[in-house]
Structures are given as structure tokens and as C-alpha cells.
Amino acid sequence: MNKGNHLIVDIHNQAFDVLVDDKKLLETIVNAANEVGANIINQSRYHFGHNSSPGCTAFVMLDESHVSVHTYADDGKMALDVFTCGATSCERILRSICRQLNIKEEDVVARHVPRF
């Protein structure tokens, strides 16, 4: 059995307004972590501006590892990283995020990487 599981996820065809809403995206990944019983240590979000393309990033540090999202609003894309150790399910976190944001299955490309 692995000590950790890592999902590297590319999500396509998302609405611009969702991809620039750092507050909503942070709330979404916090809710997903809470749904699976993960232990949140810290959280942060940032809305890109200045010289960056439109988008944002959000990060939740977990006792079990982390969940992060980075968006490219002009392209309708979201990069999601879910890494969990122990019994916490990264797949359940991904399903929760997709459900909360109404993401269609055909817009998700996920790669699972067993760790350790």
C-alpha cells in the first residue's frame, strides 16, 4: 500500500468568472477537504493582477499534505493538485470540487501518481 496518493489534474472549458474568483475557489477546496475529514493547517489565496494574465491561485495545507488550484482564466483552464497521505482520499476531494463547481467529467484530465 502507498503512503500517499497524488492527483495532477487539468480542467478545461471553465467560465472566466469562476477562474478569477479566488475567494470562491478557496472556499471550494476548503469545503472539499472538510468533506473528507482532512485536517486543514493553513490556507491562502491570491488574485492575479499587475503584469499577470487573469486568474488566481488558492492553496490549502493539510496535515495529510495539500490541495492547490491555479487558473488561466483567458484560456478557461484550471490546474489542480491534490496530494494526500494515509487514508484521506484524493479522489473524493476531486469529486467534491467537481460537484461544487459543476465541472463536467469530460473536461477533467486526471493523472494518479502513487507516492512512496
- Residue 53 domain-assigned (yes or no): yes
Helix ranges (DSSP H) in 13-80: 16-19, 22-35
Q: Give the span between the Cα atoms of 103 and 71, in whole angstroms.
A: 14
Distance from the Cα of residue 43 to its chain's centroid: 12
Q: Give the total number of structural domains in the chain.
A: 1
22-35 vs 90-100: helix crossing angle, rounded to 10: 140
Print the domain residue range for 97.
Answer: 4-111
Whole-structure pTM over 0.85, yes or no?
Answer: yes
The x, y and z cell numbers of residue 114, run together, are 502513487
pLDDT of residue 49: 82
Q: Give the span between the Cα atoms of 94 and 79, in whole angstroms.
A: 12
Q: Which of 10-14, 85-89, 92-96 has the lowest mean pLDDT?
A: 85-89
- Residue 116 domain-assigned (yes or no): no
Question: What's the whole-number average pLDDT of the chain?
Answer: 97
pLDDT of residue 56: 98
Catalytic positions: 65, 70, 85
